[in-house]
Structure 1
Amino acid sequence: MASSQDVHVRICGQEIIKYDLEIKALIQDIRECPGPQSVLMDFNSKVKEKLNQLRLRIQNMEQMAKEQDRETDKQAILSETESHRRQNLSNQTAWRKANLACKLSIDNLEKDQLLNGGDSTVRQRKATKESLVQTSGDITESLMSISRMMAQSVSQSEETIGTLATSSRTVLETDEEFKSMTGTIHLGRKLISKYNRRELTDKLLIFLAVALFLATVLYILKKRLFPFI
Structure 2
Amino acid sequence: MASSEVHVRVCEQEILKYDLEIKALVQDITECPGPQSKLTEINAYVKKSFHDLRSRIEDLEQMAMEQDKESDKQALVSQVQGHRKQMLGNQTAWRKANLASKLTIDKMEKQALLDGPDNTARQRKMTKEGLAQTSGDITESLMSISRMMAQQVQQSEETITTLATSSKTAQETNEEFKTMTGTIQLGRKLITKYNRRELTDKLLIFLALALFLATVLYILKKRLFPFL
Calculate the TM-score normalised by the size of structure 1.
Answer: 0.51
Q: Write out per-residue CA displacement over residues 139-180 of structure 1, whole angstroms, 9 at most, x where no aligned residue.
A: xxxxxxxxxxxxxxxxxxxxxxxxxxxxxxxxxxxxxxxxxx
Residue type at the aligned position of 1:57: R
Name the counterpart of 2:70: 71
- The 3 A distance-change label for structure 1 pair 3 and 99 is same
Matched, 1:42 2:41: yes
Residue type at the aligned position of 2:81: E
Q: Write out per-residue CA displacement over residues 47-89 of structure 1, whole angstroms, 9 at most, x where no aligned residue.
A: 0000000000000000000000001000100100110000000
Name the counterpart of 1:8: 7
Q: Which runs of 5+ in 1 are unaligned?
A: 122-229
Name the counterpart of 1:54: 53
Structure 1 CA distance, aligned partners of 2:88 and 2:116?
A: 41
Per the alignment, in what secondary structure is the counterpart of residue 59 of structure 1? helix
Calculate the TM-score normalised by the size of structure 2.
Answer: 0.51
Once the 2 structures are TM-superposed, how far is the Cα of residue 38 of structure 1 from its aligned partner? 0.4
Structure 1 CA distance, aligned partners of 2:61 and 2:99?
A: 32
Structure 2 CA distance, aligned partners of 1:117 and 1:97?
A: 31
Once the 2 structures are TM-superposed, how far is the Cα of residue 117 of structure 1 from its aligned partner? 1.9
Residue type at the aligned position of 1:94: A
List 4+ stretches of structure 1 deviating above 6 A.
118-121
Residue type at the aligned position of 2:26: I
Structure 1 CA distance, aligned partners of 2:36 and 2:74?
A: 44
Aligned sequence identity (%): 62
Higher relative contact order (CA 8 A, sep 6+): 2
- The 3 A distance-change label for structure 1 pair 120 and 80 is closer
Name the counterpart of 1:186: none
Residue type at the aligned position of 1:17: L
Name the counterpart of 2:82: 83
Once the 2 structures are TM-superposed, how far is the Cα of residue 119 of structure 1 from its aligned partner? 9.1
Name the counterpart of 2:151: none
Name the counterpart of 1:114: 113
Structure 2 CA distance, aligned partners of 1:97 and 1:69?
A: 42
Name the counterpart of 1:26: 25
Per the alignment, in what secondary structure is the counterpart of residue 34 of structure 1? coil
RMSD in angstroms over aligned alpha carbons? Answer: 1.7
Structure 1 CA distance, aligned partners of 2:25 and 2:118?
A: 36
- The 3 A distance-change label for structure 1 pair 120 and 63 is closer
Name the counterpart of 2:142: none
Once the 2 structures are TM-superposed, how far is the Cα of residue 33 of structure 1 from its aligned partner? 0.2
Q: How many residues align?
A: 120
- The 3 A distance-change label for structure 1 pair 8 and 117 is same
Q: Is the 8 A contact 2:33 2:105 kept in 1?
A: yes
Q: Is the 8 A contact 2:31 2:101 kept in 1?
A: yes
